[in-house]
Amino acid sequence: MKLLVYSTKEFELENLKKANRNKHRITYVTDALDSTTATLAAGHDAISIFSGDDASMVVLEILKELGVQYITLRSAGYNNVSIESAKRIGLRVANAPDYSPHDIAEHTICLLLALNRKLIRAHTQVQHYNFLLNDLMGSNVYGKTVGVVGTGRIGSILVKLFHAFGCNILACDLAHNHFLENQYDLEYVGLKELCKKSDIISINVPLTHDTHHMFNMSLFELMKEQVVLVNTARGAIVHTKDLIKVLKSGKIAGYATDVYETEKGIFFKDNSITGIEDEQLKALIALPNVLLTPHQAFVTQEAQKSVAETTIYNLDCWEENRSCKNELDYESLLL
């Protein structure tokens, strides 16, 4: 099969080449997929895209006209793909759902601890030979009430990790995980109750129509003033404008995130010379109670090896005309 890989990152190449073992003819481009770059896929059977690529209806129709039949995502999330449109025009789409939920869960813990214990500020001070402790007062995770929003692959791991920290754990999800309830003293509650009672809130749900701007002023106003919000899911689940207001006012204590609402065109690039024009992002970065990393939770050796192997597995299944366990079907997503 002939594959075009969009949005290729340097750190992906070695694993993709190893996983392929010269089975498929692969071309790598750094360009992101959109209505303009879709023409690069001419002559290819399949494309591979990342979470920031545009696979909306218009783009999919261009790809179909060019002869593309398959799309394999190098991510678990697929909010950037119009699955309904893909199925309607006969494009088959698969993702990488299980590449390494531990990586995301561990990064969530890293962000929380680093913000809680002011590790970035401490490191900066020490680099300037300032060893004062006056501005480094932190707080424990032990004994806190943690609200886990979404107990899927990543959220369920976080429940176990927070339980090991000695936390009281609340969760919100449409589907209840009875194993977690029984083994880790997890209590499922409504989202509003979770926001009222939690000292720490972790967002672990996919970005959908229902979760877009789920965390907005109405929920922020319910939260404790000392709450820390952690987001390793998708930036647009949080209403950034409202978030900045409550962070500046002290209504919530802090925000630790690996994602940003409008990160497309900014993240995965070195903007140190040109700068950025996004005033909201500038405001967010400038706040002392914000810790933001550049969507790096998935950048581990283990995760990248798994993503590469899953990408090739999806191609193998389609080429060999056998069932692909990662294939996304619009009707099944509605169930």
Over pLDDT 90: what percentage of the chain?
Answer: 94
pLDDT tens figures, 82-127: 999 999 999 999 999 887 899 999 999 999 999 999 999 999 999 9
Asked if 279 is an active-site residue, the reply is no
- Shared-domain flag, residues 12 and 133: no
Would you state the pLDDT for residue 299?
94
pLDDT tens figures, 146-170: 999 999 999 999 999 999 999 999 9
Q: Tell me, yes or no, whether 144 lies in a domain.
A: yes
Q: Tell me, yes or no, whether 214 lies in a domain.
A: yes
pLDDT tens figures, 237-253: 999 999 999 999 999 99
Q: Tell me, yes or no, whether 236 lies in a domain.
A: yes
Would you state the pLDDT for residue 98?
81
- Shared-domain flag, residues 167 and 286: yes
Q: Tell me, yes or no, whether 212 lies in a domain.
A: yes
- Shared-domain flag, residues 38 and 83: yes
- Shared-domain flag, residues 242 and 285: yes
From the candidates 263, 302, 309, 322, which is the catalytic residue?
263
Band (pLDDT 50/70/90 cuts) for residue 20 is very high
Q: Tell me, yes or no, whether 254 lies in a domain.
A: yes
- Shared-domain flag, residues 264 and 151: yes
Q: Tell me, yes or no, whether 250 lies in a domain.
A: yes
pLDDT at 334 over 60: no
The predicted model gives 178-192 an average pLDDT of 97
Q: Tell me, yes or no, whether 335 lies in a domain.
A: no
Q: Which domain holds residue 74?
A: 2-99+301-330
- Shared-domain flag, residues 131 and 247: yes
Asked if 295 is an active-site residue, the reply is yes
- Shared-domain flag, residues 257 and 116: yes
Band (pLDDT 50/70/90 cuts) for residue 293 is very high
- Shared-domain flag, residues 250 and 274: yes
pLDDT at 287 over 70: yes
Domain count, the chain: 2
For the chain, give the secondary structure using H, E and C.
CEEEECCCCHHHHHHHHHHHCCCCEEEECCCCCCCCHHHHHCCCCEEEECCCCCECHHHHHHHHHCCCCEEEECCCCCCCECHHHHHHHCCEEECCCCCCHHHHHHHHHHHHHHHHCCHHHHHHHHHCCCCCCCCCCCCCCCCCEEEEECCCHHHHHHHHHHHHCCCEEEEECCCCCHHHHHHHCCEECCHHHHHHHCCEEEECCCCCCCCCCCECHHHHCCCCCCCEEEECCCHHHECHHHHHHHHHHCCCCEEEECCCCCCCCCCCCCCCCCCCCCHHHHHHHHCCCEEECCCCCCCCHHHHHHHHHHHHHHHHHHHCCCCCCCEECHHHHHC
- Shared-domain flag, residues 10 and 78: yes
- Shared-domain flag, residues 64 and 148: no
153-167, 181-195, 263-277: least confident range:
263-277
Q: Tell me, yes or no, whether 324 lies in a domain.
A: yes
- Shared-domain flag, residues 112 and 199: yes
From the candidates 24, 234, 239, 261, which is the catalytic residue?
234
Report the CATH number that the domain containing residue 262 is assigned in CATH: 3.40.50.720
